[in-house]
């Protein structure tokens, strides 16, 4: 048996179950060390480098740039120095039948192996490429199975023997009944927890992962079976899969049946665009939103910032930082907009909803990047000054544009501020960033005619637009919050003096 080690794409966490392979950083035959970056992958959250938990010679690269890989699928095969190499390339299209304990332990070792930073925010513990056992395991029992005149030997999976102190809810979900010829290992605590919470019997599932391992998508399918969707077979050659999503050259001559027009390209919805599409669709389908807006005279704010910049050209906050400060103050005054709707299950098995309030504000802000729209959040923004907010907004903007933002930086917001004025537009009925309950948009600041003390004059005017979840508050609260922010922009000195 070959000593080549196969490193599986690790559990990404945060509900992420796949990643697009962007670029290989090594080639077959290269010698690599532990924690050396081997590939760049793009998830719905960020672009990251994946380090190897093994040292040795690269034997097989499982995938090509542009291919989407599922968590738990082979990423790279490494032959340790001095070990016997593979006699032929690994065929990843066919599952390798191995005992349940071996398959499950292999994945556990991959997750525990030496890399400390497999994906941003989700490292694997250790650092030596060795997974320590936490409990003893029994060898799989093999019993003969009669099939006509020929007797074959099929692995029969026995329950894992554990001590009474180890019989936690998650551990008990690893128990298996006799299912000849089927491997039912669970490779992630997230999968086990999901199955437990929804009452899914893991012993009755057919895993789609390597060696029959049960993946998150298998449990999701058991919870709510999805309609059949035609998609490329996982065992097709890479060339065939690539042709299904190839751009222009393979689409020339194809005609759209509805419009009669020629099709120039088909672009797969994946990565950030896929995540944004799913989140926006969920927001529109679940949140009964309403929108209010107001024109605001921002002349005083613009003049105040100009005076500060003249006194200190290198340490003056931007206008967005001042508005962010006003927003956090407004959310303290109207905390209903800094909440979240949570659906829970009551004792009778029915569903109920509750509004969860937070002790603090994590202020998200929309940032346009080459990878699409990202919404990083300034944590504990309500405790920051305008200068501190400005510095953090600039830092996070640079991080997301480099594709280095962590899941916590992208998924922890409680309210969003959207400055679409930078695109030269005045207003927008924005979609709430689910699961938040409000988003405030700021249009461009332009010269407009304005009445001041009964006289017509030219002022710096912008439009504020608030979209809110009507389940958490009514128009009075939304209007009060919007008016508070508008008044702060029109009279920034008096408001800042009270902060």
Is residue 128 annotated as part of the catalytic site, yes or no? Answer: no
Calpha distance 369→468 (Å, rounded): 25
Calpha distance 235→251 (Å, rounded): 24
Beta-carbon contacts of residue 12 (< 8 Å; ≥ 6 apart): 19, 43, 71, 119, 122
Calpha distance 276→154 (Å, rounded): 46
- Inter-residue contact 355 to 339 (CB < 8 Å): yes
Residue with tokens 């032929």: 88
| Residue 334 bridge partners (DSSP) | none
Beta-carbon contacts of residue 358 (< 8 Å; ≥ 6 apart): 338, 339, 340, 414
- Inter-residue contact 184 to 214 (CB < 8 Å): yes
Calpha distance 181→467 (Å, rounded): 55
Q: What is the CA radius of gyration of the chain?
A: 28
DSSP 3-state of 367 = strand
> For the purposes of burial, counting CB atoms within 10 Å of the CB of 13, is it exposed (0-12), middle (13-18) or buried (19 or more)?
middle
Calpha distance 91→212 (Å, rounded): 15
Calpha distance 104→91 (Å, rounded): 20
Calpha distance 443→441 (Å, rounded): 7
Beta-carbon contacts of residue 363 (< 8 Å; ≥ 6 apart): 324, 327, 328, 377, 378, 381, 382, 389, 413, 414, 415, 416, 417
Calpha distance 198→79 (Å, rounded): 41
Question: What number of CA atoms fall less than 13 Å from residue 352's CA on the CB side?
Answer: 8
Quickly list H helices, 334-419: 386-401, 407-411
Q: How many helices (H) and strands (E) does the chain have?
A: 12, 21
Instruction: Report the catalytic residues.
Output: 470
């Amino acid at each position: 048996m070959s000593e080549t080690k196969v490193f599986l794409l690790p559990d990404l966490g945060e509900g992420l179950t796949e990643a697009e392979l962007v670029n290989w950083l090594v080639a077959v035959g290269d010698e690599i060390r532990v924690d050396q970056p081997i590939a760049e992958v793009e998830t719905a959250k960020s672009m990251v480098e994946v380090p190897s938990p093994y040292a040795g010679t690269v034997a097989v690269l499982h995938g090509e740039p542009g291919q989407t890989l599922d968590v738990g699928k082979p990423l790279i095969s490494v032959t340790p120095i001095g070990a016997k190499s593979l006699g032929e390339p690994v065929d990843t299209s066919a599952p390798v039948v191995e005992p349940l304990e071996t398959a499950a332990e292999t994945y556990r070792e991959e997750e525990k192996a030496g890399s400390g930073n497999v994906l941003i925010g989700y490292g694997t513990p250790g650092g030596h490429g060795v997974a320590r056992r936490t409990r003893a395991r029994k060898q799989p029992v093999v019993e003969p199975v009669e099939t006509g005149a020929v007797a074959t030997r099929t692995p029969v999976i026995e329950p894992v023997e554990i001590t009474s102190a180890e019989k936690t809810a998650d551990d008990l979900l690893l128990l298996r009944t006799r299912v000849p010829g089927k491997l039912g290992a669970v490779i992630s605590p997230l999968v086990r927890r999901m199955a437990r919470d929804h009452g899914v019997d893991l012993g009755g599932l057919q895993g789609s992962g390597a060696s029959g391992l049960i993946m998150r998508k298998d449990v999701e399918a058991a919870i709510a079976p999805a309609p059949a969707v035609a998609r490329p077979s996982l065992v097709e050659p890479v060339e065939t899969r690539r042709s299904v999503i190839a751009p222009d050259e393979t689409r020339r001559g194809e005609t759209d049946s509805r419009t009669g027009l020629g099709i120039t390209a088909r672009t797969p919805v994946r990565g950030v665009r896929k995540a944004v599409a799913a989140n926006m669709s969920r927001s529109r389908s679940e949140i009964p939103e309403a929108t209010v807006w107001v024109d605001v005279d921002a002349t005083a704010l613009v003049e105040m910032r100009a005076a500060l910049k003249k006194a200190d050209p290198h340490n003056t906050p931007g206008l967005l930082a001042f508005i962010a400060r006003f927003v956090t103050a407004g959310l303290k005054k109207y905390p209903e907009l800094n909440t979240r709707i949570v659906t829970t299950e009551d004792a009778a098995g029915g569903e109920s909803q509750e509004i969860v309030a937070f002790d603090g504000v994590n202020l998200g802000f929309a940032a346009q990047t080459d990878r699409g729209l990202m919404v990083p959040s300034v944590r504990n923004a309500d405790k920051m000054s305008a200068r501190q907010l400005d510095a953090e907004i600039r830092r996070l903007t640079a991080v997301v544009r480099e594709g280095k933002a962590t899941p916590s930086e992208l998924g922890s917001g409680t309210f969003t501020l959207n400055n679409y004025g930078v695109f030269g537009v005045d207003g927008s009925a924005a979609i709430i960033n689910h699961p938040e309950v409000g988003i405030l948009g700021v249009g461009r600041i332009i010269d407009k005619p304005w009445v001041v003390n009964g006289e017509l004059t030219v002022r710096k005017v912008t439009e504020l637009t608030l979209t809110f979840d009507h389940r958490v508050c009514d128009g009075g609260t939304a209007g009060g919050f919007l008016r508070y922010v508008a008044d702060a922009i029109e009279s920034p000195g008096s408001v800042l003096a009270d902060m």
